[in-house]
Every structure is written in structure tokens, then in C-alpha cells.
Amino acid sequence: MSLPSDAPVLLLAVPGDVEGVPAEIASVVRVDNPQIEVRLASVAALDSAFPEGRAAVVVPLMTWPDPAVLGQISKAVAATGADAVVTGPLGPHPLLAEALHIRLAERGLARADRVRLLNISSPVDAVVLGVPGGPDGVQAAQPTAVLLASRLTLPVVAASLEGEPGVRLAAQRLRDAGAQRLALAPCLIGHELPAEAVSEAAASIGAGHAAPLGAHSLVADLVARAYGSQLAT
């Protein structure tokens, strides 16, 4: 995108530590969009990250709308009096479903090409889409589950990785419907839950699991798109 020199700063708001995956995502966004000034801050330290005399677009580094976190971000923005707008989370979006598909394929849990390999049997019968949060998180993930199911041509059920309705209930539903080989697709960037949360959830239902989304280029693309959508309006 072509931007003026005084274009708003992209401020990536991270629930938790900014080191690791969030820093990698910010780096990818910078490389792919050198005309955008990208800043990174934890939600707790957001008030000190706003550029003086510059507008900002705050993009929460989240795949689903956590009301508590979004409330913290809105409160921090309001307290500074900064010229800033806050975007929604990164999902649901077709690119998010594509990134989840790629992560599954990397672990041999999905066909890599949904067009050319349609006649080859799938390595699994169904997928559990693991999300952070409880019932609200599961509800918010439903559109992503539908998008992923469309890509995989398999049943996909969203479930909480840290509460109810949990992955065991989702797995039981799928097995009751005839699915035996399950995979767990974590709809996580990677900083939301402890690293072992995904492997433990997968083990509890006897399923293989994909890696978190991490600093996938499509996640960085979604960040840039969130920023660009605000400029367009």
C-alpha cells in the first residue's frame, strides 16, 4: 500500500509477553510493509507506546474477540487521549482458516492441496478446533470452524483449550458421529496459553495436533490488512 509520510503508526497490542512469536510477527510485518512504522507493546504497557504527535492504529494480536482484553485496550487508548483507533481481532477470516490448514498439512494431518488431491483419502476423519477462552471463545470461533471445514471437506468442531465446552466433549461428539481419526488444530498465535496446553489437550483425546499459528506469513498479512482496513475508512 502507498502511504504518506505521516501515516498512522501500526501499534500491535499483545496480551502477555511481547518476546518470541509476537516480536517475530512484528518483524515480518515490517519486512513485508516497509512503509509502515510498526510498534509492539503488551496490553499492560500500551499507554506508553503511543507515538507523540502521530495517529495510531491499534491491532490486537488475537484470533478471537476476548471482551476483557479488548476492554483493557480501549481503556488504555482512552486514558492517553491519543488519536488512535482499535481494530477487531484477526479472525474470523478466510486467511486464518488457510493458515490453520497449512499447519495441519505440515504435520501430515490434512491434504496439502485441497484442489488437486481431492480424490486422495484424508489422513483424519475430523478436526477439533482448539481455541482460548470458554464458551464465548468457542462461539466466536464458529465462523472459523466453518471456513476450515469447507477447506478440508471434513467436520470441524470448535472447543475450548482451557475450559468448557472442552476438547473431550468435541471429540466425543465427533466419534459418536463416526469419526475415529481426529486432529487438533490450535487456533492460537502462540502467546495466549502455556506451550504444553496443545499437546496435553491432543493427548487427552488421542489425537495428533498441528503447531500454533506462530509467525506465519498469513498472520502477518492479517495484521497488515487490519491496519489497512482502518485507513480505508
In a domain, 14, yes or no: yes
Whole-prediction pTM value? Answer: 0.91
User: From residue 172, how far is each of 130, 154, 156, 214 by CA, in Å?
Assistant: 14, 16, 13, 28
Residues 59 and 147 in one domain: no
In a domain, 163, yes or no: yes
**What cell was used for 218?**
498469513
Residues 36 and 110 in one domain: no
pLDDT in tens, 65-111: 888 899 999 999 999 888 999 999 998 999 999 999 999 999 999 98
- pLDDT (average), residues 49-69: 91
State the pLDDT at residue 220: 97
Q: Are strands 84-86 and 56-60 parallel, antiparallel or unpaired?
A: parallel
In a domain, 2, yes or no: no
In a domain, 84, yes or no: yes
Residues 124 and 166 in one domain: yes
Residues 156 and 86 in one domain: no
In a domain, 113, yes or no: yes
pLDDT in tens, 178-209: 999 999 999 999 888 888 999 999 999 999 99
**What cell was used for 151?**
477447506
**What cell was used for 108?**
501430515
Q: How many independent structural domains does the chain possess?
A: 2
Residues 200 and 226 in one domain: no
Residues 102 and 193 in one domain: yes
State the pLDDT at residue 1: 58
State the pLDDT at residue 113: 64
In a domain, 1, yes or no: no
Nearest C-alpha neighbor of 38 from the set 232, 194, 233, 226? 226
In a domain, 192, yes or no: yes
Residues 115 and 193 in one domain: yes
Task: Assess whether pLDDT exceeds 90 at residue 116.
Answer: no
Residues 149 and 193 in one domain: yes
Residues 150 and 162 in one domain: yes
**What cell was used for 202?**
491432543
Residues 81 and 99 in one domain: no
Q: Which pLDDT band holds residue 133 (cuts at 50, 70, 90)? A: confident
Query: Under a CB-based contact definition with an 8 Å cutoff, are residues 223 and 96 in contact?
Result: no
The parent domain of residue 36 ranges over 9-90+216-232
- pLDDT (average), residues 157-181: 96
- CATH code of 102's domain: 3.40.50
